[in-house]
Structure formats: C-alpha cells, structure tokens
Amino acid sequence: MSVSDGQVFDPVLLNTFLIRKKRCRVYFHRGTLIWESQGSPYTRHMLPLSDVMAVQYVHSTDKSHCCPGLEVQNGSNIDDKPFGEHTSVTAPRHTSFILHYAAKGTKNTWRHDTVTLNHTDPRQVASWVKTIRNYLSGFKNRPKRLLIFVNPYGGKKIGLKIYEKQVKPLFLVAGIEVNAIITQRQFHARDTLLNCSFDNIDGVVCVGGDGTFSEVFNGLVLRTARDNGVDHNDPDVQLPPPLLRVGVIPGGSTDTMAYCFHGTTDIETAVLYVILGDSIGLDLCSIHSNGNLLRYYSSVISYGYLGDVVRDSEKFRWMGPKRYDYSGFKKFISNNGYEGEITLLADTCSPSRGPKCLENCVRCQSQTENKPDKTALSQGEWKTFRGKFFMVNGANVSCACSRSPNGISPYCHLGDGCVDVVIIKHTHMLNNLKLLLRLSSKVKNLFDLPFVEVHRAREFTFRALPASVSDTEFALPRLIPGTSVWNCDGEVQWETNIRIRVHCQLLKVFTRRSQETKEEPSCKICSF
C-alpha cells in the first residue's frame, strides 16, 4: 500500500513492455511487480516493491531499446491511470525506465540488480514511474540522509576503498544523501557523535569492524543519556534508546556483529539492508566498575584466554587479521587458568537449546523495547560460581563469524534482554584444544563438553581472585600478576572486577537478519 496525503492507494497497472529484448506483460498490484514473457519459453518474475531501491527514467537518445508495435493496453477492468491525472504527468519524453532492486543471492547474501522496461508511449512510462515512486515514498522506514563513519585503519586497511567502490555508488542509486567522515584516530567516531548535530540525519552507518561499531553505539547511547539528563554511571538506570538507527558495513578483521546481524559479512548485502530500511532491536550491555560506567558492549566480553589474546595481538596489528592466530597460539600454550568468582541473575530459559535467533525471531519479538520483562526478573535466581577458569564469557550475541559458524553461544538472541554467561573451567591442554576445535565446528557447539557451563542471565558480576588485591589496584591499566584482562568487543578492558547489565533492545540496527543455513559437518571424519 502506498500512503500519500493521508490517502491509501492500492494501484493496479497493466501494460506490455519490452524487457531484456522480450515482449512481456507487466502487472503491478498489491505492491508486487510481475512480468511474464509472451512467447516461449514462458518465464515469470515477481518483484515485491519492498525489495526495490529506486526507479529512474533511462536518459538516452539511443532509440534501439524502443519497441515499435507495443501499443498501450487499455484493459477494460484495469486502471491504467491510477491517479486519474495523466495530464499532469511531466517529462513525457522517456520511453524506458529502470528499476534498481535487491535480489536474493546464495548464503544469506543480496545483490543489486536492475531491470529495464521499454515502451513506445512515453506517457505510459511516466505513469508507471510516478506510481512506483509514489509507492516507494510510502516506505517511511527508509533513510534519506546518513552520517557515515569510515575506518581506514581496521581489518586489511581497505575501509576507504570499500566505501568508495561498494558503498557510495549504491547510496547514490538509492538517492540517499551522505555525509562521510573518515576517522583519523581511535574514538573519533564516538567523540563526533557526542557533540554533532543530529538534525537532518535518519541514521548512522559505520564502515569498519566491531571496534568501529562499538564506538558508534557508545557515542549514541551516551549522547542520548546526556540529552535526557540520565546518569549513565548508575548501573540500575533505565537508559533512553537512541532515536537514530545504525548500519553496520563490514570492514574490520572479524566483523562478528555484521555476521550476527546479516548472516554474512558480504558488504553489498549490508549496504542494501541500510537502503531498504528494515531494522531490529539489539540488546546492549553496560559494564560498570567502582561506581563508574566503563563502556557498552554488543558482542562478547571475555576474561582469560580471549582477554590475553586481544591484549597481546594489539602489538602485532601490522600482521592484519593473522595477528589473532599468532597471539592465539602463544596464549594457548601459556594459559594456566585464572581464579575468579561469578554471580549471576539467571533467566528461566535454557541457553543450550534452540531455536536460533534468525529472521522473525519469536523470542526477540516478544520483548518490549528497552523494558526488561518484569516477570522474568522476579523469577530469576541468583547463582554464584567460584573456581579456576580457562575463560569466562558474557555473550550478548551468538558471536558467530566465518571462522566460528556457531559462535560461542549459538542460541543466544540479539534482542531478548539476556546475556549468555559461558564458563569454561581450567582443565588440561587437550581439553582446551578440543574447545577451540568445537568453536570452529559448523555442527557441534561447546555445551556438551563436561568442563563448559552456560547460564542465561539478565545481569552478572565478576571478581578476580585472589581477593587480597584491592579493586583500585585492579582498575589500573596494567596487568596484575595472576589475572587477565577483559576482551570487550575486541578491545582491551583493564578493570577486572565488573558488573554487567543488559539493556533490552536499546539500539535499532538496519538488517533483515539471516535465514536458517543448512548445517553440514566441516570435517567428515571427526565432525568437529
């Protein structure tokens, strides 16, 4: 349905056009364009306008695409003039128009595709273009002006190239105005969002990795709290959700968040999702220590092995994404486990069983934006665990990525107001190896390993042991012997003793989500 001037139109059009050198009958009804060939072989295409990015006249003096013999079809019961105002149609010169649309590809990807429709009568072409444009303008969720942060430094350092070659041209086609900022330093994106004007912006997009996305939502959430007079340091505060939606275009090393949103790290898919304007609510977690907010995170916070890896790998950034393999190996060999205490408010739902969080996820849809489920909170039970750990994780999303198709917690949900606390106890090196192999498996997950425990929680705290070290000492940006650091969305967080709280669906992210993928063993022999 197209909504214009308070009126709802459900236009019907029918004509014969020349498409890809074939005469085709073309219908437009109930938001779907259908074209079927008139000769053999018979072909039929359906294109919902919700997948169409733009419609344009073809500005060409080349008449070869014109199609003598195609006359206007005035079917008796077909409304060829949906608005009854052909006289006001301007530019009756063009004999063809082009539709730019998103076409489904393989493995959760979408591609930009086009179809050109030719007709001898420019009035018919103008009428179709006007009707389709009217219909598209009814999609109020589509952004018209975007602020874009491009990180030239993340991943393989090709963020700028990605933006110029793959992002900008598509936004141009879709008629989206962009204001692009190339980040010059760490925290550039966050600091800009803390102070810039949000007038005339419909969304913020980042071209970069998880660190860049993290800067964007940290900036937006802090700015929104400040604008609303909310104290972000209060761990129990109800945070106001940012009004701007965020687009995530992969340009980093792991791009876990892009993968969890879209089911792929394909750049074109991510750009098309921003253009088409659908969005979902993402939980964000706040990390507090000693009465202060440290930051917000969206993917995972990991203490122990992954904390050690991120701290070490920063020194080898020149290696690119390979630095994680190098530091991963070093820290795997040297891991002796870390002592700590975890206290969590457990949710009643089991995190070790499905369904997975995919397109139209029922669990996420049942949650109200930014309002924790009060019943679940009152039913929650406080639990404490103390011991020596290889790793402790607070997963806000599954953390699936191309290297780990199931991620740390495959049944974790993006917007259910919970975090999955995955506790991996200290055992021997063979078990640690088994764990890492499981993390790269397409079929198996961690949860049937006897040294792994998982709990779904609404909040949790962690305290590094031995307790003889004071909290103030832990807060220093240096390593205390016998302790690790936190890996927070891929960045080092030095404070070890923290409290995590989940803010249900605090951020809106542009995506249509991933569909279910067929699960096949990556290794046929051991099915790891």
Contact flag: residue 184 with ligand ATP (CB under 6 A): yes
Tell me the H-state helices in 292-342.
Answer: 305-313, 323-334
Cα(360)–Cα(155) distance, integer angstroms? 31
**Residues 202, 210, 416, 489: which is the catalytic one?**
210
Using DSSP's 3-state secondary structure scheme, residue 44 falls into: strand
Residue length of the chain? 528
Cα(247)–Cα(149) distance, integer angstroms? 10
Orientation angle between helical segments 210-227 and 188-195, nearest 10 degrees: 20
Nearer to ligand ATP, 82 or 154 (CB): 154
CA 4 to chain centroid, in Å, comes to: 31
State yes or no: is 210 an active-site residue.
Answer: yes
Nearer to ligand ATP, 151 or 484 (CB): 151
Phi, psi of 287 (to 5 degrees): -115, 120
Contact 222, 232 (CB under 8 A): yes
Contact flag: residue 215 with ligand ATP (CB under 6 A): yes
Cα(27)–Cα(20) distance, integer angstroms? 16
Peptide bond into 82 cis (omega under 30): no
Q: Which of 11, 82, 143, 154 is the binder for ligand ATP (CB under 6 A)?
A: 154
Contact flag: residue 183 with ligand ATP (CB under 6 A): yes
Contact flag: residue 152 with ligand ATP (CB under 6 A): yes
Contact flag: residue 151 with ligand ATP (CB under 6 A): yes
Contact flag: residue 212 with ligand ATP (CB under 6 A): yes
Element at 461 (helix H, strand E): strand 452-464
Q: Shortest Cβ distance from residue 82 to ligand ATP (Å)?
A: 47
Nearer to ligand ATP, 166 or 253 (CB): 253
CA 341 to chain centroid, in Å, comes to: 33
Q: Which of 254, 264, 298, 313 is the binder for ligand ATP (CB under 6 A)?
A: 254
Q: Shortest Cβ distance from residue 212 to ligand ATP (Å)?
A: 4
Q: Shortest Cβ distance from residue 247 to ligand ATP (Å)?
A: 14
Mark the segment that binds ligand ATP (CB under 6 A) among 20-28, 129-137, 181-189, 452-460.
Answer: 181-189
Contact flag: residue 255 with ligand ATP (CB under 6 A): yes
Contact 167, 151 (CB under 8 A): no
Contact flag: residue 490 with ligand ATP (CB under 6 A): yes
**The tokens of 352 are what?**
């070790």
Number of chain positions touching ligand ATP (CB under 6 A): 23
Q: In what order do the strands lie in the sheet with 12-19?
A: 44-48, 32-37, 22-29, 12-19, 110-118, 96-104, 52-57
Mark the segment that binds ligand ATP (CB under 6 A) among 246-254, 344-352, 417-425, 500-508.
Answer: 246-254
Q: Shortest Cβ distance from residue 235 to ligand ATP (Å)?
A: 24
Catalytic residues: 210
Residues that bind ligand ATP (CB under 6 A): 151-155, 183-188, 208-212, 215, 252-255, 490-491
